[in-house]
Structure 1
Amino acid sequence: MWVIELEALNIEFTPRKAIKSQALADFIAEWMKLQQPTPEAILNHWKIYFDGSLKLRGAGAGVLFISPDGKQLKYVLQILWPATNNEAEYEALIHGFRVTASLSIKRLLVYGDSSVVINQVNKDCDCTKETCVEVCKLEKHFQGLEIDHVVCDLNVVADVLAKLESDRAQVPAGVFVEELSVPSIKRDEASTSDSPAPGTQVRTIIPA
């Protein structure tokens, strides 16, 4: 019965051709790509790389700012008081936060190679030191903030900036230099405001 009805429709049957293995692989790869969710782009975020250094001549700190369009701003802290290496790291991080907050930057990715400092500010271990508490206070100025640990090889620029000051070497042209005669936390305690803007003297070496 079905045969008679189908004959009236002039239906032709042809054998199905084999699909080449490469064509099948391409199809699967394309299908997998379509199934994967598209990652959300992180827009308008700044990056900060920070580091501290302690040598025989003293301590220094360096901060590298990178804007969303890739422009770089290099910042050196001349620490003129006896500081430990961790204190120099915290000075770099605190001043990095203050500079970006004073510019009304709201989204920030922060990288440092000190596992101690990173773990403390991320609350992975005890965060009772005044410097760590100060960092936590400054976090309220940002709407999006990530602080991650990186290996030293990925923090080279900040490391070089910090060592310039711990060696008391000449700072290249185009680098912002800030002199710290006292720890920034003591300076904040004497202040009546927790304003994020730096309160110390800044001088900039302008390229010739």
Structure 2
Amino acid sequence: MATRKLLHNFTDHEVIVVTSNSLGDIIYNRDAAGRISKWALELMGHDIRYSPRTAIKSQALVDFFVEWTEVQLPTPDVTHEYWTMYFNGSVMVLGLGVRVVLISPDGSRLHYTIRLHFSASNNATEYEALINGLHIAIELGAMRLYVHNDSELVVDQVMKESSCKSPLMTAYCQEVHKLEDKFQGI
């Protein structure tokens, strides 16, 4: 492909445009340049601005999910002795994170965020969130607990509806079952 250089002098500034794609063809095409000029004149009277599309980061989605999950899920019939726990794990470029929200019987919300300083899979972070949440609930004196999560694999393994295929997941699941014994109902 041929490279074109365009040099223009505007007062004391020099503008150089180097292109090897079809932009140069558009600039030198009289019909296209005329149409572009017409559109520029038509649209000049309107306040049109270009705004690039922004990406949603994964942690923002996790935060949104954790904050609004309790509103979207059906609320169980709460007797005044049950706590409610929502948990989620997140694998990000900058590290691993765990989020736990505990709701006390009187409706107080306790938010916990934990950064994990080791590499792990998404399922392992989900288990880390669950285990840390259970430890926190025990420390707070919760005896009965409703637990909510969106990870089908973790939920199925803990509920014994599917088996663990890796030794790590088996160890995580066993740890959860040990912690379950510390509650009167979970």
2:96 aligns to what? 59
The answer to whether the 8 A contact 2:95-2:115 is kept is no
Q: Which amino acid is the alignment partner of residue 174 of structure 2?
A: V
Q: CA deviation at 1:81?
A: 0.7
What's the CA shift string for 1:77-122, capped at 9, x where partnerless?
1011111111111111001111111222111000000000000000
* TM-score computed with the length of structure 2 as normaliser: 0.54
SS at match of 1:96: helix
SS at match of 1:129: helix
SS at match of 2:136: helix
| Matched ranges for 1:1-208 at <5 A | 42-127=79-164, 129-145=170-186
Q: CA deviation at 1:41?
A: 5.7
Q: CA deviation at 1:65?
A: 0.6
Counterpart CA distance in 2 for 1:55 and 1:103 is: 29
Paired residues in the alignment total 106
What's the CA shift string for 1:140-167, capped at 9, x where partnerless?
001111xxxxxxxxxxxxxxxxxxxxxx
For structure 1, the residue ranges without an aligned partner over 5 or more in a row are 1-39, 146-208
Counterpart CA distance in 1 for 2:124 and 2:134 is: 15
Q: Which amino acid is the alignment partner of residue 94 of structure 2?
A: R
Deviant stretches of 4+, over 3 Å: none
Counterpart CA distance in 1 for 2:147 and 2:128 is: 14
Q: For CA contacts below 8 A with separation 6 or more, give which structure has more relative contact order.
A: 1
Counterpart CA distance in 1 for 2:124 and 2:78 is: 34
The answer to whether the 8 A contact 1:43-1:68 is kept is yes
Q: Which amino acid is the alignment partner of residue 51 of structure 1?
A: N
For structure 2, the residue ranges without an aligned partner over 5 or more in a row are 1-76
Q: Tell me how large the CA RMSD over aligned residues is.
A: 1.4
* TM-score computed with the length of structure 1 as normaliser: 0.49
SS at match of 1:59: strand
Structure-2 change in CA distance of 1:130 and 1:69 (3 Å): same
Structure-2 change in CA distance of 1:45 and 1:99 (3 Å): same
Q: Which amino acid is the alignment partner of residue 133 of structure 1?
A: Q
